[in-house]
Chains A and B, each alone.
Chain A
Amino acid sequence: MNIQSLVDEVPVEGEYSMEGIDFISSGEQFLTFLLAQEQYAVNILCVEEIRSWENPTKIPNAPHYVKGVINMRGIIVPIIDLRLKFDIGEAIYCETTVVVVLTVVNDDKSRTIGFVVDAVSDVLNAEENEIKKAPAFGGCVPQEYIAGLVNVAENVVTVLNVVALQTIEAHQLD
């Protein structure tokens, strides 16, 4: 009985695969989407739903990037257009325009907000060490919303901090 050979046979975490299906057993998964032509991502655990764009009900005197609210299975969900919020690209509403609905639970309080994006892409798997800190300057997206950057092939994906995204600035009184 050779112990070493037995050890070699034991599957190692992350390496186990079965007939072409990769079991993702470590790291986190992210949903990537496009704003203009740039790639962004959010933790997939926060993604409640992906909806096609529909005209929301306006909220009086709301900031321009708050498009309004929609009815999602009986819940009133505010819709925020990230392209307007971060001033990226053009906020057009067409067939591929999509709303990514994110739910975050914080201190027993849960908040659900829908974000308008240009299109959704793949699901990305990334380990914690693959998420690098973003440089402190440049970019349209303010620092506090960025969790980090991930390299995927030749592209750079900006991972967004969902909790920060959900923080709504106090209503501006004019």
Chain B
Amino acid sequence: MSIDLSQFIPSFLEESFEGLELMESSLLTLQQGDDDSINAIFRAAHSIKGGAGTFGFNHVTEFTHLVETLLDEMRNGQRNIVQPEVELLLVSVDCLRFLIKAIRDEEPCENSKIAETAKLLEFALQKQEIEAAVTTNHEITSDNSQAFSTWLITFIPEPHLVQTGNDPLLLFNALAELGEVSLEADCKELPSLLGLDAETLHLTWTLSLKTSVNEDEIKEVFEWVEDECQLSITQQKSDSAENKLVSSPLVEEAVKAPQIKAVPSPVVVNSPEKSTQKSKSETGSIRVGVDKVDSLINLVGELVITQSMLSELGNDFEMSKLTRLTNGLEQLLQNTKELQESVMRIRMLPISFVFNRFPRLVHDLSKKTDKEVTLVINGEQTELDKTVMEQIGDPLVHLVRNAVDHGIESKETRIANGKSEVGTITLAAYHQGGNVVIEINDDGGGIDRQAVFDKAVEKGLVDTSNTLNESQVFDLIFEPGFSTAKELSDISGRGVGMDVVKKNIQSLGGRIQVQSEQGKGSQFKVYLPLTLAILDGQLVKVGREVYIIPLITIVESLQVKEQLINRVSGDMVLYRLREDNVPIIPIYQLFDIPADNKELSNALLVVVEADGQKVGLMVDDLLAQQQVVVKSLNDNYQQVEGISGATILGDGSVAMILDVPGMITMALKRAQRQQSNEKASKKKIETEVLA
């Protein structure tokens, strides 16, 4: 029977990633004398080595063996825990991560760094240790080329052999698997019935085995008991000397090693182990806590009850049952809502999965930049959607890198400014409204507002005449190709970062905001939706089209009052909303569709906010508010400007979901183009006139 174990490999890989994480976080804080930690680190490495060996990943086994040996010496007290070696171990963890990833992604695992690190490990171990850690299996091969031979085996066990759990009869069975066995028991030492002790062996045996296997394999059968017996295995010269030894029934009885069994107790149903939700790999799997599954099961149960109740009502419906029907539907709504929430929670995982890579990152970065930086993490239990989490990692890394590289000043500068030598970066996550908010704060030098403005002018992004408020200036750093770093540092500052960060965050349906105070520090806030899949939306009508505006972006809706409309510099129309002047975007114009009402004077305005800016969207009618399931247009079509997705309404028709920031950008671009067109045509007229 050949058993296929490849189904367990993904589980092993996942486990290994977890083990590596544990190793890394423990190594970062490891101190001499910290026994628990060093043992935990050792065990993690040991498990990875064992598993890798079982599944045949020899390169991993070999590498891990070096790591494990080093760790073993540390935990035994043979070796002191010193920083350079901890650093080496950290690098080794990286190497292992690479190797495991390579296995998971089926990519080549050759890497000079790994070979280098392995050499360093060997050097650290300072001995000629490196035999392959894989102990060879004793394969029971039947070598057909070898002729059969007969072996005479005498087996004289010590009387207490059975107390180790070994059973001679079973050993003989195992022997019988190797060939033909006949045996004879020696009952000389057998006491009388009264003297029989159930826990001791009173017999010895002589066996004859005809087999084609070699002596080592015969010995192997007895390997567990070799210290508790006298064993001799001799090969018989002649093949024909078969001792047909017959064992008598009396002997067989006594041979059975008595196993004292207690009265079988009823099998206890163990409380379900809470498997923690850990899913670091980007495979399509997720581990869910049993409590979430149970809650789902309960809710589905309730749904089933409601359904059968409604079904019954529907059978002989009469108007008199109307109230019950409405109640039933209300109940159905409730059940569906709860079920939906419950299901969504399954995709939610604590943000710690993303945050846990940062201690290491900050540690490495601070060494690289020769700065002292501590990282404070808050709210790592805040949950967010798995997909969002997988994609928010890279942008966050960039922001943290930024903070270390550009935010935190050098030690000298900090001291000169009366700050502590050690800079602090705070990573925080919390829920607010319908969002997850992630903050990256640093107590560094802040963003130089003037430098940003100047650079923007230099790049032609803004006019010198443009008056921008503070947050708008800071928003400029998200423009493509923008970087004020005087030298392009290796870490960041290549100018390809921030705009990609913003784009990534927006593609997740989120937004990013920055605040900064010169000399004090900067604060980046990333807002992300709790879930990508479902959205609370306001349905609006423009002409014949129905659009959905994300409720979270809506500030208010109002009927336009003519006197509050102001036209400014050409086509821009502003609406006075208390103290703000809010630009109006006529959707029909932006989307080039017919509308019922093109007159601004009695239009309906939905004031929305995005990227710190308010605009008023002009619509024909306000329809219902409802929760919609977001479907991407990208699957079968492509990204559409101004549209973040589509949904299927209750009547089966498709409605587009508006991407407010995108629409603002569209409107801006259009206005700018219009402006430059006007300028150009003006110029043309002027030159024509002159001619």
Residue ranges of A at the interface with B (Cβ–Cβ < 8 Å): 56-62, 68-71, 74-78, 111-113, 168, 170-171, 173
Contacts and interface: CB of A to CB of B under 8 A. Distances in A.
Given A69-B654, A71-B648, A71-B653, A58 B636 contact: no
Interface string B633-665: 101111111110010100011111000000000
B654 A111 contact: no
10 contacts: A56-B654, A57-B654, A57-B656, A59-B640, A60-B641, A60-B643, A76-B633, A78-B636, A168-B637, A171-B641
B591 interface: yes
Contact of A76 (B636, B639, B642): B636
Given A58-B593, A60-B640, A71-B653, 6 more contacts: A57-B656, A58-B591, A68-B654, A76-B631, A76-B654, A77-B636
Given A56-B654, A58-B593, A173 B636 contact: no
Contacts of B590: 60
B593 A60 contact: yes
Contacts of A75: 635-636
B592 interface: yes
A170 B590 CA distance: 19
Given A71-B652, A74-B648, A76-B631, A60 B636 contact: no
Contacts of B593: 58, 60
A135 B631 CA distance: 42
Given A58-B545, A61-B592, A76-B633, A171 B639 contact: yes
Interface of B: 545, 590-593, 631-633, 635-643, 646, 648, 652-656
Contacts of A77: 636
A57 B636 contact: no
B647 to A, nearest CB: 9
A137 B590 CA distance: 39
A62 B545 contact: no
Contacts of B648: 71, 74, 76
A57 B631 CA distance: 14
A163 to B, nearest CB: 14
A61 B652 CA distance: 23
B654 A62 contact: no
A71 B642 CA distance: 20
A96 B641 CA distance: 34
A74 B593 CA distance: 26
Nearest to B547: A60
A138 to B, nearest CB: 31
A57 B635 contact: no
Contacts of A78: 633, 636-637
Contacts of A112: 636
Given A57-B655, A70-B654, A62 B636 contact: no
Contacts of A68: 654
B635 A111 contact: yes
A173 B641 contact: yes
What 3 A-B pairs have minimum CB-CB distances, sorted nearest first?
A60-B591, A57-B654, A78-B637
A16 to B, nearest CB: 40
A168 B632 CA distance: 16
B638 A171 contact: yes
Nearest to B543: A58
A69 B649 CA distance: 13
Nearest to B642: A60
Nearest to B646: A76
Contact of A113 (B592, B632, B636, B640): B636
B82 to A, nearest CB: 49
A75 B646 CA distance: 10
Contacts of A58: 545, 591, 593
Contacts of A170: 638
A72 to B, nearest CB: 10
Contacts of B545: 57-58
B546 to A, nearest CB: 8
Contacts of A71: 648, 652-654
Contacts of B641: 60-61, 171, 173
Nearest to A80: B637
Contacts of B655: 57
Contacts of B631: 76
A60 B656 contact: yes
A63 B184 CA distance: 94
Nearest to A62: B640
A58 B640 CA distance: 12
B305 to A, nearest CB: 26
A59 B592 contact: no
A71 B651 CA distance: 10
Contacts of B656: 57, 59-60
A76 B644 CA distance: 14
Contacts of B646: 57, 69, 76
A95 B641 CA distance: 33
A62 B545 CA distance: 15
Nearest to A111: B636
Contacts of A171: 638-641
Contacts of A59: 633, 637, 640, 643, 656
A60 B657 CA distance: 11
A78 B643 CA distance: 14
Contacts of B638: 168, 170-171
B595 to A, nearest CB: 12
Most central of B545, B592, B641, B654 by chain A CB within 10 Å? B654
Nearest to B591: A60
Nearest to A77: B636
Contacts of A113: 636-637
A51 to B, nearest CB: 13
A119 to B, nearest CB: 24
Contacts of B591: 58, 60-61
B439 to A, nearest CB: 35
A57 B640 CA distance: 14
A68 B593 CA distance: 13
B633 to A, nearest CB: 6
Nearest to B654: A57
Contacts of A57: 545, 646, 653-656
Nearest to A75: B636
A71 B652 CA distance: 7
A130 B506 CA distance: 51
Nearest to B587: A60
Contacts of B639: 171
A66 to B, nearest CB: 8
A150 to B, nearest CB: 29
B645 to A, nearest CB: 9
